[in-house]
Structures are given as C-alpha cells and as structure tokens.
Structure 1
Amino acid sequence: MRRDELLITIYDIAKRTGLSPTTVSKVFNNYTDVSAKTRTRILEAAKEMGYLPNANARSLATKRSWTLGVLFTESSGLGLRHPFFGGVIENFKASAEAKGYDLMFISRDIGGNNGTYLEHCRFRGIDGVVVIYADPNQPEVAELLASDIPCVLLDFNRANVATICSDNVGGSEQAVRYLYELGHRTIAHLSGGRDTFAGRQRLLGYERMLEELGLSGREEWISDSGDFFSIQGGYEAMTRLLKQPELPTAVLAAGDNLAIGALRAIREHGLSVPGDISVVGFDDIESAELVTPPLTTVRQNMREIGGRAAQMLIGLIEGVAGAEAVVLPVELVIRESCRKV
C-alpha cells in the first residue's frame, strides 16, 4: 500500500514538523495557547500530507459535536431568500468554519416526528444556536433560549440573552435628517411591520427625528407593508400611499426590498424618482445599487453581523464570554434616488 493511501495521524504531522503530538492536537482542537507561527506551520504540513481530523475522535476529546445550529422560524416566510439574512448567514458560516464548526439548520421535525427546537438540538448534540428573525416570546423559541444551550439572538433584543443587531433607530434618524437637509419637509415611511423588531425600531427612529426636526408626523403617511420586508409588500404599501390626497416629497422605506417595490409603484403612477418623490431604503442589499435609479440606503454591515455573531456564540460555547447585547453602527450610502427640493 502506498504512503498516501495510509491514514495520516497527528503523530505523522508531529514527526514532519518536529513538534509534539500534544501541540499538533491543540491546533486541531482550537486551543489558544499555540503561537500563530506554530499553528500555521502545523496546518500547512497537514494540508500537504492530506490530513483530515477524525470528527468522532475530536468530539470525544472535547465533549462537543462541533456543530452550530441555525434557527429561522418558519412563520416568518423569509429564510435565505431575503438577501440581507442570506448575506449574514454566509458570513456567519465562514467565521464558524474557520474555527472548525459545521452548521445545521434547526426545525421541529426529527426523523419525521414533530418535536421542539430544543429537542432537535438535544437529539443532534448541537453545541450552540444562532436564532435569526425569531420572536423570543414564542414558547418554543423561549424554551430554547432558557435552556443550557448557548444561543445568540440576531435582530432582536432580550434581557439575559446574547443579542446582536444594527442600530435600527439611528439608521432611520440618519435617513430622515439627510432628507431634511435636502429640503424635504413632508416625509413618509414604508414600515416593515409593527410586529417585527426591526420594523418597530426603524419606525421609532423615523418618528423621533421628525419630532426633533419639528416636522409633523401624519399617521396616513406611515404605510405598513404587512409582508415581512418584501418587494411586493413595498409595492402595495407605496400604492396605498399614492392614493392620499396630498403626497409627500420623500419616503423612507424600512428595507431595500420595500424601496424597490416602491420604485415600481411610483413609476406605474406616472411619477419619477427622484423628480417627484425621493426614496431612501435600509439594508444596502446587492440590488440596491443595480436598480434605476441606484438607491440611497442605510447600510447594515452583513459581514460584521455574521462574523460577530459566530464569535459571540463560540465564545459562549467555550466559556470565554458572557451574554452581551451588541448594537452595530450603520452608514448612510448616498446614491441617486434623492434630490434637493
């Protein structure tokens, strides 16, 4: 049998590098007391030799499955189809894999039997869970968050649970102030839904800045998409707004998909953006700069959110971090969908 057909072990790598098997083992089990130079040396040798760590052996040694759960609630209707959450998950995945973890999507179905999220996590031996766009007050989500399985809650805020979200309030405030500085005094809002955390927070920022600037808020100029930040929801919300006897000169949409739907509705009513109505979105998804006109929007840092969520969750699993509430800054990206009045 040829050498490359044999199972490569940590002892082979230790012999190749001149280091101890213990040091080699520490690298593959993500211990932190190995220098970067030594770690690189071991990983390069392992790659050259075609070494693949034995997952079962590693699990026995570390008492972990090296698997992170990803939980969406099915009722949201979003999942990976939404470009923002898809981007966050991609970055979460990259950061988790860099630390040696695999991902598993969590549902209530276990081998065809209906169970709970917590039961599924127990059954699979999940080390920790990132909970995305799920209502923490939903009984089965609350049960998981209250368990001893480390969790990070994304795009929500809840006491005694590790959470991470963007500055939704501040983002809306930035957008409204920008429109005000362009001369707009009648600014409407396409809401992402008052029953969603992000929707409520972005509405709050809109209302706060109107009050700070001395502008009158009109309830009929807050149009709820009612469809979880979708393009169709934005189209319908803008269509309702365009039926008002007096039209605003600007609109802040609580999401880029809503704004893209609004662009379509405005065009179909024979109006132009930004000639008749200026539009600002929220998220800065990839298509925001591809639509006509390119969309001015509030950028959430998908890379930072996903990477930080993975870092927080792994820190909880390894016992080196506690639950913290992280709010990440946002940035107003100015393109061509707004004009001075």
Structure 2
Amino acid sequence: MVTIYDIAKKTGFSVTTVSKVLNNYSDVSEKTKKAIKAAVEEMDYLPNSHARTLTTKKSWTIGVVFIESLGIGVKHPFFNAVIESFRQEVEIEGYDLLFVSRNISNQKKSYLDHFRYRGVDGVVIVCSTYDDEQVKELIEDPIPTVVIDMSSDQSSVVYSDNYEGSRLAVDHLQSLGHTRIAHIAGHESTFAGEQRKKGFYQAMKALNLEVPDEYVVNGDYFSIEGGARAMKSLLELEKRPTAVYAAGDSLAMGAINAINEQGLRVPEDLSVVGYDDIELAQYIHPALTTIRQQTDLIGQESAKLLLKQIDCKESYVACTQVPVELIIRKSTGPVA
C-alpha cells in the first residue's frame, strides 16, 4: 500500500508539505500542489479517511438536498447536469456527496437533523421553490450552504440571468417579425418561473409590444403536459399568437406537441422558443431554439462558493448570476 512517505520520497518534498497538500492547506504554492497531486494520481494513493478526518476536523462530505416539483428527482435533466458539474468540482478537493434521506434508523428526521447526524461540512441545496419549510430551516442554520436556482438573502446563491434570457428570447422573435408573442410561464411558486415571466413583460415593454392578459398562460411545474395544456388554450384564442416563448424546454416540447396535434406546423405557423437547452432539445423535431443555461458553470461556481465557506469555517451570503446564451435552431422562423 502506498503511504504518504512514498509520495514524499517520489516528489522530494517533506512529509509535512505532502500532508498539507492532501489536506488542502492554502500555504503551499500551486506548482508544489500540482507536482504532489500528479504523484498521488500516478501512484494510486488513497488516504485513510478516518485519519484525515481526525487531522482536519472535517468529514469531507457535502450534503445534497434535491427538490423539484415534477417528482422525478435526479432524473431532472437540468438539475442532474448541474449536480454532476458540482460533484466533479468538489471531488477534486477530496469531498464526497451525501444525498439526503429523511429516514435515520427508521425515524423521520429533518434535513438539518440528518446532516448534523452525519456531520457534513456543508450542504448544496438544489431547489426552485420557496415552499419547503425544511429548506428554510437549513438556510437559517450556521452550517455552510449554497442554493442553486433560487434567491435568498440568508445563503449564498447561484442562478442564471433569467431576465436576460427572457430578453434574448423576445428580441429574437421580434427580429423575425413577430409581434403577437405569448408566454408559457413556470409555476408562480418557482423562482425561475417568476423571474422569466417578469423578464418577458420587461422585454415586451422595451419593444413597445402589447401583451394581452390571455397571452400569458401558466404551464404549471415545467412539465411537457403543462406546456401542452397551456398551448391548447392559446390555440383556442380568436387572435392567436404567432410565436411562443416557454419558460422551460419541457414546456416548449409540450407546446410543439399541441401545435402538431392541431395540424399546424412549427415554425411555419407558430415559432417556439424554450429555456434550459437540455440535451434532448437538439434532437426533437424541429430542433428547439432555446436559451442555454451554463450548467457546468453553475455547478462550478456553486462548488467554489461552498468550499470557500467550509475553508473559512463560517456561512456567508453571496450571489453569483451566471450568463445565458440564445441557441438558434429550427423551431423559430419569420412570421407568416
């Protein structure tokens, strides 16, 4: 078995220096860290987790709370991509992830109770709604936290620039000659849904475009079914829109299904823009024009914020807003 002494011998650094690198101390140069980490990788060194915990007073575990309203958990394409990016970032520093269960020894426990029981060093909360009381309890606790896809004045947060995304979507449709633009909104209890809807109104006002009340429809919790229902109500209007901006790609896919069922075509009869750029968006027919969220960057920035708090041994409030990008595909075209 490879030991810390073997790493020191191979690299020429002292055992103390190697130990500092393995335990993420800051008073070691990047060049030295790189050399030692390369040797660790080459020699397949695996530190003793119990010894490391005693030395650093850390569990080297980060808790994960994952809440989304569709009930599909980590299968959710956007959140899954974000968590994978987060995992890769913290894994480099030696942390493992612990996905929460509210059962401990067959007893119902809160998220906070669970994480205290496991002694995690910090918690990442992936959540889009303000309604969960146990999430609020976590955020209010001194344990270091970072929240993804939700705003909070009590925790560090990371989310996309939803207002800018809405502006990009509306501006793109207007550039194609569309003036009758509808919006399929996410549920009002969700942070992203509300921000994107407000951004839609702002963008339409900036272009002096009218928004009839019936042109803004609730798509529920970003589901394909919710998008289809919303689109059907828009198609029933006497003066139907020529373009639709949906607050999520699943909503947009549902909208396209509803349009097709009515014997209409996308984009010849109606243009559709989504939001997220999930992997499936480029493979549906027609390929979906959408607003891309940078899931890799969201995960990386979330990890950096949380690790900084863990290293400082205190929770603090910070906000990182990640830029978005318009991806033009085949679901949008000139107004007929």
TM tier, shorter chain? over 0.9
Give the deviation of 1:317 after TM superposition. 0.6
Give CA deviations for 1:169-212 in whole Å, capped at 9, x if unaligned: 11111111111121111001111111111000000011111122
Change (3 A) 1:312 1:233: same
Correspondences of 1:47-66 after superposition (within 5 Å): 47-66=41-60
Q: Does the Cα contact within 8 Å between 2:140 and 2:154 map onto a contact in 1?
A: no
Q: Is 1:298 matched with 2:294? A: no
Change (3 A) 1:62 1:136: farther
Where does residue 205 of structure 1 map in the other structure?
199
The count of corresponding residues between Structure 1 and Structure 2 is: 334
Q: Is 1:240 matched with 2:233? A: yes
Separation (CA, whole Å) in 2 of partners of 1:329 and 1:48 = 37
Where does residue 103 of structure 2 map in the other structure?
109
Where does residue 191 of structure 1 map in the other structure?
185
Where does residue 4 of structure 1 map in the other structure?
none
Q: Does the Cα contact within 8 Å between 1:11 and 1:21 map onto a contact in 2?
A: yes
Out of 123, 126, 131, the position equivalent to 1:132 is 126
Separation (CA, whole Å) in 2 of partners of 1:75 and 1:293 = 27
Separation (CA, whole Å) in 2 of partners of 1:254 and 1:276 = 20
Q: Does the Cα contact within 8 Å between 2:66 and 2:74 map onto a contact in 1?
A: no
Change (3 A) 1:265 1:75: closer
Q: Partner letter of residue 85 of structure 1?
A: F
Q: Partner letter of residue 183 of structure 2?
A: H
Q: Percent identity?
A: 49
Give CA deviations for 1:230-256 in whole Å, capped at 9, x if unaligned: 222212221222122221000000001
Q: Partner letter of residue 50 of structure 1?
A: D
* Aligned-partner SS, 2:143: coil
Correspondences of 1:303-318 after superposition (within 5 Å): 303-318=296-311
Where does residue 3 of structure 1 map in the other structure?
none
Where does residue 173 of structure 1 map in the other structure?
167
Q: Does the Cα contact within 8 Å between 2:68 and 2:127 map onto a contact in 1?
A: no
Separation (CA, whole Å) in 1 of partners of 2:286 and 2:170 = 19
Q: Is 1:263 matched with 2:256? A: yes
Q: Partner letter of residue 31 of structure 1?
A: Y
Residue range with higher mean Cα deviation, 279-288 or 213-222: 213-222
Q: Does the Cα contact within 8 Å between 1:191 and 1:222 map onto a contact in 2?
A: yes
Gapped regions of structure 1 (runs ≥ 5): 1-6
Where does residue 157 of structure 1 map in the other structure?
151
Gapped regions of structure 2 (runs ≥ 5): none
Separation (CA, whole Å) in 2 of partners of 1:223 and 1:47 = 53
Q: Partner letter of residue 149 of structure 1?
A: I
Give the deviation of 1:13 after TM superposition. 1.8
Out of 321, 324, 327, the position equivalent to 1:330 is 324
Where does residue 61 of structure 2 map in the other structure?
67
Change (3 A) 1:326 1:44: closer
State the TM-score, normalized to the length of structure 1: 0.93
Change (3 A) 1:48 1:330: closer
Residue range with higher mean Cα deviation, 301-310 or 29-38: 29-38
Q: Is 1:218 matched with 2:212? A: yes
Q: Does the Cα contact within 8 Å between 1:71 and 1:132 map onto a contact in 2?
A: yes
* Aligned-partner SS, 1:252: strand
Separation (CA, whole Å) in 2 of partners of 1:303 and 1:79 = 19
Give the deviation of 1:37 after TM superposition. 2.9
Change (3 A) 1:114 1:74: farther
Where does residue 277 of structure 1 map in the other structure?
270
Q: Does the Cα contact within 8 Å between 2:53 and 2:60 map onto a contact in 1?
A: yes
* Aligned-partner SS, 1:59: helix
Separation (CA, whole Å) in 1 of partners of 2:110 and 2:169 = 41
